[in-house]
């Protein structure tokens, strides 16, 4: 390792080649411990900020302290060094491992199933608190079907890979439309998963055109959009859900401060209605209502479609 000083413009940041997801970081010339990592490859210094992205400078072409690492194994080894150093500073999200595996496959034609982990990968995995073996990477490798736009979304939102697991059977234009909608309405991970599921069902029932129409319709809010997708994909369930809300309201249970910490019973009602997964929730209501008949009615309503 050698410390050298270079103009920022002399350094090459392989954003595309190494499929970086991390944002550019400002290089603070005045900070005494500022530096970038670099590796000399075919006469060019391939560099990266210690946090893993490109280094930029507000003052234009800053002088940059450059720690040049040795990579006798060429670019593959340099890439391993990149992972080891940057993931050591800020542990990688799962999607970054998927991106790294994609680089391995597309750029280096390297197959870990045949050749084992490349050099420095075990250290990079350990730096992220992961066991250094192939099994750990298998789930991340499963998501190699995600494109750059989708990986960027997962990275920005800090979503787990499985959020977009149902993207795989969908056609590319539909996936792009979904990504746009998720960004536009700032949809959460749970709802994103649900929407993917419903779009998949819609596709099968009515064809892709129907899904596109629904996704491009000018909905007024995220909630309106979600309900529209739900009602179109699962009309019977949506009708039953509506019926259940009405019946629950008709139960005329006393007002109270919520056991779930919400300020009103109405909100609780909607909460259990929209998340009908746990009939066990009814136990809390039971103790609060203190009326066996009403509690039983409530249970029946919760079980209306389960």
Binding site for other proteins (CB under 8 A): 105, 111-113, 133-139, 141-142, 144, 162, 165-166, 168-169, 197, 200-201, 204-205, 234-237, 240, 276-280, 300, 303-306
> CB of 170: closest distance to other proteins in angstroms?
10
Classify burial at 115, counting beta carbons within 10 Å of its beta carbon; exposed 0-12, middle 13-18, buried 19 or more: exposed
The residue (of 101 and 177) whose beta carbon lies closer to other proteins is 101
Q: Are 260 and 251 in contact (CB under 8 A)?
A: no
The residue (of 56 and 231) whose beta carbon lies closer to other proteins is 231
CA–CA gap between residue 300 and residue 222 (Å, rounded) = 30
> CB of 280: closest distance to other proteins in angstroms?
7
The residue (of 7 and 303) whose beta carbon lies closer to other proteins is 303
| Other residues' Cβ atoms within 10 Å of the Cβ of residue 189 | 16
The residue (of 89 and 171) whose beta carbon lies closer to other proteins is 171
Q: Are 21 and 95 in contact (CB under 8 A)?
A: yes
The residue (of 37 and 285) whose beta carbon lies closer to other proteins is 285
> CB of 251: closest distance to other proteins in angstroms?
19
> CB of 179: closest distance to other proteins in angstroms?
17
Q: Are 35 and 66 in contact (CB under 8 A)?
A: yes
> CB of 60: closest distance to other proteins in angstroms?
44
> CB of 244: closest distance to other proteins in angstroms?
12
The residue (of 4 and 278) whose beta carbon lies closer to other proteins is 278
Classify burial at 10, counting beta carbons within 10 Å of its beta carbon; exposed 0-12, middle 13-18, buried 19 or more: middle
The residue (of 4 and 239) whose beta carbon lies closer to other proteins is 239
> CB of 1: closest distance to other proteins in angstroms?
32
> CB of 82: closest distance to other proteins in angstroms?
21
Q: Are 179 and 155 in contact (CB under 8 A)?
A: no
The residue (of 70 and 108) whose beta carbon lies closer to other proteins is 108
């Amino acid at each position: 390792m050698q410390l050298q000083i270079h103009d920022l413009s002399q350094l090459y940041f392989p954003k595309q080649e190494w499929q970086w997801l991390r944002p550019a970081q400002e290089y603070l010339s005045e900070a005494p411990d500022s530096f970038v990592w670099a590796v000399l490859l075919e006469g060019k210094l391939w560099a990266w900020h210690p946090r893993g992205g490109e280094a930029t400078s507000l003052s234009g072409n800053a002088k940059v302290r450059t720690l040049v690492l040795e990579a006798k194994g060429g670019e593959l080894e340099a890439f391993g060094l990149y992972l080891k150093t940057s993931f050591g500073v800020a542990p990688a999200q799962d999607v970054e491992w998927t991106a790294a595996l994609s680089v391995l496959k597309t750029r280096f034609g390297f197959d870990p199933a045949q050749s084992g982990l490349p050099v420095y990968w075990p250290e990079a995995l350990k730096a992220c608190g992961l066991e250094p073996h192939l099994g750990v990477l298998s789930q991340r490798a499963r998501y190699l079907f995600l494109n750059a736009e989708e990986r960027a979304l997962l990275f920005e939102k800090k979503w787990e890979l499985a959020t977009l697991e149902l993207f795989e059977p969908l056609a590319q234009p539909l996936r792009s439309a979904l990504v746009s909608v998720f960004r536009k309405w700032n949809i959460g991970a749970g709802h994103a998963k649900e929407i993917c599921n419903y779009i998949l069902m819609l596709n099968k029932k009515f064809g892709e055109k129907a899904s596109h129409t629904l996704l491009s319709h000018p909905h007024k809010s995220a909630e309106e959009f979600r309900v529209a997708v739900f009602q179109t994909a699962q009309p019977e369930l949506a009708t039953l859900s509506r019926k259940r809300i009405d019946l629950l309201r008709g139960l005329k249970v006393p007002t109270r401060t919520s056991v779930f910490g919400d300020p009103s019973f109405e909100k609780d009602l909607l909460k259990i209605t929209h998340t009908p997964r746990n009939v066990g929730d009814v136990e809390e209501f039971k103790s609060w209502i203190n009326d066996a008949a009403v509690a039983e009615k409530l249970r029946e309503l919760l079980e209306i479609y389960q």
